[in-house]
């Protein structure tokens, strides 16, 4: 154990078949899949058996870390009653192997670039191809690299960039056929800067709900709008509800008028109520959400001479994203799911 070094796995994955990236009992996760491969190859030290109450503390410790997309609901249970054979926390001992991730993603959410940390006495840099061969095809390793002894993946990540894809017609669903590009372009800018997102999270008792959005852009990709959002940290479900609110308020405006200037005026008068007044907000599906990129600028500037930079070349990133994620994202099944979510939300408002 004394010769253990800390290694970073810089990965992309399609989240469709996983209940999030974070290690969890009884459900398939990205971390669980990666650790299983490392364990089977003999690259993780076999942990000593520990009492059940320490297992609970281990699970609590891994979940207390601040994060973006971590679910505590019935779809992604954090602590379940399992046998010793099923208990991944007892099997892998996350704190003993130094398990970390720079960002958490929820059930069904994808990532073009996420960073996972483990400690091992084996030089995992030399084992990248062997590990990749054992992983399923929906997880791709860009590189394995050493990081410094005190490296903390979540804290060292200074900025996170998410992409959310919305079919253009979703904004007009059961509304007039109006080009809403200009109103939408103006609406997204209301998110810039620091705002209170107490309406935009499934955490009912979250105390600190203010978040800073550094940048937000609207990009057209064929039949879809891609909304790019950059910030340091996000609340659980915040991004999905930010996009949901855009759809919600534009559909509300279309009930009043189909004239562009009147839609824009409606947004000016009503958009920012979401930051001050309690309201129900549409939460769109995770299937169209993508953790696109992460920035480790300070770490790379200070420590890159030791082990290299935590980064991915943009052309490779986009190539992997297209093949691994986007080629499977725009399906009829996902479209139907999205529209059913809007229908259910409309029904809930009419009750």
- What is the CB-side half-sphere exposure of residue 272 using CA atoms within 13 A? 11
* Residues 120/290, Cβ–Cβ less than 8 Å: no
**Is 106 a known active-site residue?**
yes
Which residues neighbour 244 within 8 Å (Cβ) at sequence distance 6 or greater?
281, 282, 283, 284, 345
What separation in angstroms does the CA of 78 have from each of 63, 73, 82, 89, 187? 8, 8, 12, 11, 36
The residues facing 166 across adjacent strands are 225
Nearest to 33 by CA among 46, 20, 45: 20
25: which DSSP letter?
A: S
Tokens for 17?
């078949």
262 three-class SS: helix
Q: What are phi and psi of 221, to 5 degrees?
A: -130, 95
Phi, psi of 267 (to 5 degrees): -65, -40
Indicate which residue of 40, 73, 106, 133 is catalytic. Answer: 106
Three-class SS string for 182-238? HHHHHHHHHHCEEEECCCCCCCCCCCCCEEEEEEEEEEEECCEEEEEEEECCCCCCH
Angle at alpha carbon of residue 216, lines to 321 and 31, rounded to 5° = 40
Of 242, 198, 191, 235, whose CA–CA distance to 213 is shortest? 191
- Point out the residues that are catalytic: 106
């Amino acid at each position: 154990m004394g010769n253990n070094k800390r290694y970073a796995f810089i990965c992309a994955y399609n989240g469709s078949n996983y209940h999030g990236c974070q290690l969890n009992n009884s459900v398939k996760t990205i971390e669980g899949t990666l650790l299983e491969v490392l364990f089977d190859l003999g690259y993780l030290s076999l942990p000593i058996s520990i009492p059940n109450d320490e297992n609970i503390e281990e699970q609590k410790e891994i979940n207390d870390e601040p994060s973006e997309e971590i679910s505590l609901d019935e779809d992604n249970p954090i602590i379940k009653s399992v046998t010793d054979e099923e208990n991944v926390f007892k099997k892998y001992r996350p704190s003993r192997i130094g398990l970390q991730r720079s960002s958490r993603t929820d059930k069904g959410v994808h990532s073009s670039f996420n960073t996972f940390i483990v400690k091992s006495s084996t030089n995992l840099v030399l084992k990248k191809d062997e590990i990749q061969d054992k992983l399923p095809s929906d997880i791709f390793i860009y590189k394995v690299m050493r990081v410094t002894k005190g490296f903390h993946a979540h804290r060292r990540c200074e900025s996170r960039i998410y992409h959310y894809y919305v079919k253009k017609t979703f904004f007009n669903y059961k509304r007039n056929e109006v080009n809403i590009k200009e109103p939408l372009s103006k609406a997204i800018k209301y998110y810039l800067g620091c705002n209170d997102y107490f309406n935009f999270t499934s955490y009912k008792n979250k105390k600190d709900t203010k978040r800073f959005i550094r940048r937000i852009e609207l990009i057209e990709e064929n039949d879809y709008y891609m909304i790019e959002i950059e910030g340091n940290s996000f609340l659980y479900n915040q991004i999905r509800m930010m996009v949901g609110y855009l759809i919600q308020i534009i559909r509300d405006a279309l009930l009043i008028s189909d004239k562009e200037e009147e839609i824009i005026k409606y947004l000016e008068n009503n958009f920012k109520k979401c930051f001050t007044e309690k309201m129900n907000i549409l939460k769109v599906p995770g299937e169209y959400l993508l953790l696109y990129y992460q920035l480790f600028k300070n770490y790379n500037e200070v420590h890159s001479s030791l082990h290299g930079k935590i980064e991915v070349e943009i052309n490779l990133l986009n190539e992997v994203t297209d093949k691994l994620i986007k080629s499977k994202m725009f399906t009829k099944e996902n479209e139907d799911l999205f529209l059913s979510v809007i229908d259910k939300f409309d029904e809930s408002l009419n009750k």
